[in-house]
Each structure stands twice: as structure tokens, then as C-alpha cells.
Structure 1
Amino acid sequence: MPPHRSGAARPARARRDDGRVLAAVADGDAAALTALYERYAGPLFAFLYRLAGDRGTAEEILQDTLLAVWRSAGTYRGRSSVSTWLFGVARRQAHNRLRGVPPPVAAEPDDGADPLPGPEELAVGQERVRATLARLPLAQREVVVLAFLGDLSHREIAEVLEIPVGTVKSRLHHARATLREYADERTS
């Protein structure tokens, strides 16, 4: 089964199955941990990569996350979806690893590009997005990544970040304003 993008987008049966799989992890079932990994590695890695700005660091944090899930699966109480709980674990692991680490600085690409973008230009565009996200304060970057790349609802983001829904909305509003400022800087 390919990784999904959001707990909300998955059918209720699949979400219940996630709960059973996590309960099996709590009972020490390594195959269940592998099943969770197969379902959620993609979205969790994308989230962690956007927070860390570095593939290697994101991979290390993902491994830290799986270890934390293995150790703490028994603490899951079902108050949120398993996917939301997993994003919360990943976020805590990222904060532990990234505390005090400045965001990565991206090199500025050459602006003499062909009007029709090829693979190199598309890669540069992705690098610009990554570099722009890295300029956001971590609190705003988390919300943007969870909302637009993790496809989580405001409520789910609030659960992952352990903040009120209003704070999620406020951070998204400020992040959009900051991103607009960055975009204006690049066009002027």
C-alpha cells in the first residue's frame, strides 16, 4: 500500500486498521512497525525534509521517529488519528535534533534561464521553494508544511503541534504574508 497524504483522506476502515497496527507495535510486533513505516514514511519524510532542509538530517530524524514510536506506541490513547500522532512524534524528534541549528542557506541560481523550464530549471525552482521555506521561522514553517505538503486540516495541525486551532490559522496567515514578501523581493 503506498503512503497516503493525510489521515483525513483515508477511509475510516484504514484509520481503524492504523490503530490496530499501532497496538501491535506497542506489543513488540516488529512487522507492525514495518507496516507503519511503509504507510507513513513518505509523508513523514517530506515533513521532516522541509523542517530540516537537508535529506540526510531528515532521514536521521525519521529513524529517530521510528525508534520513538517503537518505544512509546503504548502511550497512544486514540484521542487523535494515528497519522496525527505520528506527525507529533516526528515533530518532537525534529525539534530535539534541530534545536539551535540555523536553517540551511541555499545558493542563488543563475537567472539566465531558458523561457521553457527543463529538468535543471525545475530543480532550481524546487530549491527556491525549499530555500524560501527555510527562511520562515520554524513555528510558521511547520504549519505551512503540514497544511500544504502534509495535507492536514487545521484541527489536525493543532493536534500535531499541540496548539489551538486559532494559533494554526494565525501562523498560516503570518507565513503567507512572509512568503509574499520573499516573492516580492525576488521579483524586484
Structure 2
Amino acid sequence: MHKKDDISDGELVTQYVQGNQQALAILVKRFHKTFCNHAYWIVNDADIAKDIAQDSWKLIIDKIQTLQNPARFKSWALRIVHRKAIDYTRNSARQQQHHQAYKIIKSIDNLPLSDTSQQKQQLKKAITELSVARQQVVRLFYVDELSLQEISKLLNISVGTAKSRLYHAREQLKKNLKK
């Protein structure tokens, strides 16, 4: 048997697929730190990066039989880690947006009744000044609580277009409400 450092990644993948659990242990030892570092580079939190690496290993183990070229294990596995880290970042940003919107709504609800109705009127007026396309996205995102992907499917537009409309609507609302 070769020394474990002499065995190529491709050989280890092939051995694991054929039932050699030791091959997986060598792959984990060889790449786990790399996966953690790659995830950390994206999320900037060591604990979350470790969780992402761990979740990635679960998916890698489940899907390793589908890897057509075992010699490309490292790039294939790093893509999985990368996508999981990006997904985490997107979900985290979405949660922050919802939390921010919730705080705004709560702050409006906590205002005295006369101020609330006046602010609601101002907000409604500012929203009506948006284009119809932007009004749709704002309503679907904040009122109906749909994700950008769901909005894009519903309106038959790309996710990027939905995101852009929401961003520009927010910017226009900020300007209109400061008047």
C-alpha cells in the first residue's frame, strides 16, 4: 500500500466509492481545513465556516458517486463549499432585510395614532409615486413576503431584475420620504 500522501485524490475517491472508508478519512484530513478556510473567506465567521464545511461534507459524501472524473475532486468539492457559503450569505442578507423591515413596521406601529396615520399616508403616497413594476416588487416582497426567486417566477423576470427593482424602489422611497 502507498503512503497516504502519495495516493492521488482521484484514487482516494475511487477507493471510497468501492467501499474503502479509510479513503474518505484521508480525503477529510486532506481537505477539511481548506474547505473551512474557503468558507471563512466568504462568510467571515469561523464557527459558521466550520458548519458550512461540515454540511458540505455531508453533500459531498452523498453525491461523490456522481463525480464523473475523480481526479477533479478538489475543484468539484470546493464548488459545493462555495455554493453553500454563498447560499448562507444570501439567506443571512434576506433575514436582515426582513428584520429591518419588521423594525420599521414596529416603529411605525409604536408611534402615536395621529402620527401613524399621517406616516402611513406619506408612505402610501411615496409608493404610488413608484413605477408600477417597482410597486409590484415592493408589495410582493414586503406585504406578501415572497422571496426574490418567487417574485421573479411570478412576474416572469430574472432574479437580478427583481433585486434591481427592489433596490431602486427602496432608494426612491428614501428620497420621497425625506422630502
The answer to which structure, 1 or 2, has the higher relative contact order (CA under 8 A, 6+ apart) is: 1
Same-fold call, TM cutoff 0.5: no
State the TM-score, normalizing by the size of structure 1: 0.42
Q: Whose helix fraction is larger, Structure 1's or Structure 2's?
A: 2
Larger radius of gyration: 2
